[in-house]
Amino acid sequence: MPKYYVNNTAQPNGDHEVHKEGCNWLPFVLSKKDLGYHSSCHSAVLKAKEYYAKADGCKHCSEECHKS
């Protein structure tokens, strides 16, 4: 199971993006919260929503969870 992180800094639209470990965009995330290991981005996004109401999957590493 991959490890996921949520960006503590919101995107311009207010979303906090969820990234899978190994994502090419993760090194650019300066402040992130460890969400632990998840079998899919869906459960990782649900976990992120415990911290941020507007959480969304990264369009590069969690495309099936990227809604906006």
Of 29 and 59, the structure prediction assigns the larger pLDDT to: 59
The verdict on pTM exceeding 0.95 is no
Whether 23 contacts 57, CB under 8 Å: no
Dihedral-angle region of residue 67 (phi above 0 means left; psi in -120 to 50 means alpha; beta otherwise): alpha
pLDDT at residue 15 in the model: 95
**Three-state SS for 3?**
strand
Side-chain-side CA neighbours of 8 within 13 Å: the count stands at 5
For the chain, the average pLDDT equals 95
Q: What is the mean pLDDT of residues 38-46?
A: 97
Q: Does residue 40 register a pLDDT over 90? A: yes
Q: Which two structure tokens, joined as six digits, stand for 59?
A: 């369009």
Q: What is the mean pLDDT of residues 8-21?
A: 95
Q: Does residue 67 register a pLDDT over 90? A: no
